[in-house]
Amino acid sequence: DIYTEFSALKSIVMASPNDVVKMPINEPAKGKKQSQIEEYVDFYSGAGVQHIALRTDNIINAITNLRARGVEFIKVPSTYYDDIKLRLKKQGLVLNEDLETLQSLDILIDFDENGYLLQLFTKHLMDRPT
């Protein structure tokens, strides 16, 4: 089970034998507010694929190549990177990637004491929210 201050979900992860493909199967759990999972199920009147995540060893090349092929990604405000610079410095975390390059590609940075995750989200592919 995964909980935040306001929402929760139950998750079971299925994986291929070689652990290359992973599929979390999520369902809403009781929380103070409607979770993202509940919102999706209510909107679509049932279960479905909310999103697909892809793993890469080089996110900069992957995003550059996807953009060249016409994939559109969300735009991240510059204030996000102003804040992240301060948070990274406070944490004493040094990125292997150039922060200016990450910012130019709108790549998001999540981190904790165990390391960091780089990610980016496409714009909605359909006319309904996910």
As a whole number of angstroms, the distance between CA 99 and CA 112 comes to 17
**pLDDT per position in the chain (130 positions), as tens?**
665 666 777 888 899 999 888 888 888 877 777 877 888 888 888 888 888 888 899 999 999 999 999 999 999 999 999 999 999 999 999 999 999 999 999 999 999 888 999 999 998 777 766 6
Q: What is the pTM of this model?
A: 0.75
Q: For the chain, how big is the Rg over CA atoms in Å?
A: 17
What is each CA distance from 91 to 77, 86, 94, 119, in whole angstroms? Answer: 22, 9, 9, 19
Show me where the domains of the chain are located: 1-50, 56-130
CATH 3.10.180.10 fits 56-130, yes or no: yes
